[in-house]
């Protein structure tokens, strides 16, 4: 696939928003996709945040390989971050996060007569689950959420019941993916709008990866006795099993690709991590 280069104007504004407001917060909560913990981390965020205290949230950990989750938690802890595996849609991990934040707030106000609220900022690339996390933390739907990247707009300060304050920011991507794999990983997980990519080609790239790392997942999901000798043959076998055949016995690659992508993103193919911790 060609290099993906997607940098709408609001991404530039988000970078400026983070720069302008970083000095107002005590810590940063960075949300990443547990299936692609490196590709869903924005290097611009590292550049902006620098030494500010950080909590890493490995979101969608219910969709990723549980053993890989443990490896990534250890990896980020060694970098000096607080780390939690979470499922922000279901609320898994939220009590642990709130407990950690309370501990940090008590530490911040220890020995002080005038207690100050803990102020934090949530950052992350589009569609990693920031809005779902905020809804869980506030106990209400205070931001718009959706399956398409780029739903949240503008800056929002939110008050939490425990006297903490939260600054939400829109998703931010970097202007160019130096590593084409990062662009593909983000596309697989829905952080880049499908409209700018060919879904059949994207699904074929995904099948190529899964066929190597999780072959049994594909066989079980699509009830295949064996995989094809090539990823394309496997894709055609999936099409046959699902009845995605057009007149003249032509394979409907687009419909097959859309099905594979949707089912991967929903975790229906199985728990899959596309980036393994080395």
> Domains of the chain: which residue ranges?
9-168, 198-265
> Tokens 């499922």 appear where?
87
Q: Please give the CATH superfamily to which domain 9-168 belongs.
A: P-loop containing nucleotide triphosphate hydrolases (3.40.50.300)
| Structure token pair of residue 45 | 């965020």
| Structure token pair of residue 85 | 């595996």
CATH class for the region spanning 198-265? mainly alpha
Three-class SS state of 167: strand
Q: What pLDDT is attached to residue 174?
A: 60
Q: What pLDDT is attached to residue 179?
A: 75
Q: What pLDDT is attached to residue 72?
A: 97
| Structure token pair of residue 189 | 């997980």
Which portions of the chain are predicted below pLDDT 70? 1-11, 140-155, 170-178, 194-196
- Mean pLDDT for the chain overall: 86
pTM above 0.75, yes or no: yes
Q: What pLDDT is attached to residue 201?
A: 93
Gap between the Cα atoms of 138 and 165, Å rounded: 10
Residue 31's CB: how many other CB atoms inside 10 A? Answer: 26
Q: What pLDDT is attached to residue 69?
A: 97
Q: What pLDDT is attached to residue 196?
A: 63
What are phi and psi for residue 31, nearest 5 degrees? Answer: -100, 125
Q: What pLDDT is attached to residue 170?
A: 66
């Amino acid at each position: 696939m060609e290099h993906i280069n997607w940098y709408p104007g609001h991404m530039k504004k988000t970078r400026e928003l983070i720069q302008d407001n970083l000095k107002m917060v005590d810590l940063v909560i960075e949300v990443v996709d547990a299936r692609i913990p490196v590709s869903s981390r924005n290097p611009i965020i590292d550049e902006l945040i620098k030494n500010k205290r950080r909590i890493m949230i490995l979101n969608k950990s219910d969709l990723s390989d549980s053993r890989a989750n443990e490896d990534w938690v250890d990896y980020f802890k060694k970098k000096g971050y607080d780390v939690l595996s979470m499922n922000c849609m279901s609320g898994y991990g939220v009590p642990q996060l709130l407990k950690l934040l309370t501990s940090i707030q008590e530490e911040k106000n220890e020995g002080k007569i005038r207690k100050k609220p803990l102020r934090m900022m949530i950052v992350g690339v589009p569609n990693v689950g920031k809005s779902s996390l905020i809804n869980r933390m506030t106990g209400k739907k205070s931001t718009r959420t959706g399956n398409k990247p780029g739903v949240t707009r503008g800056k929002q300060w939110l008050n939490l019941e425990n006297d903490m304050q939260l600054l939400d920011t829109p998703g931010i991507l970097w202007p160019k993916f130096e590593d084409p794999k990062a662009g593909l990983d983000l596309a697989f997980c829905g952080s880049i709008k499908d409209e700018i990519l060919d879904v059949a080609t994207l699904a074929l790239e995904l099948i190529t990866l899964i066929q190597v790392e999780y072959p049994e997942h594909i066989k079980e999901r699509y009830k295949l006795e064996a995989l094809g000798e090539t990823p394309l043959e496997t894709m055609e076998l999936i099409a046959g099993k699902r009845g995605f055949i057009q007149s003249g016995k032509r394979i409907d690659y687009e419909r097959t690709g859309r099905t594979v992508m949707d089912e991967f993103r929903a975790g229906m193919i199985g728990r899959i991590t596309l980036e393994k911790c080395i």
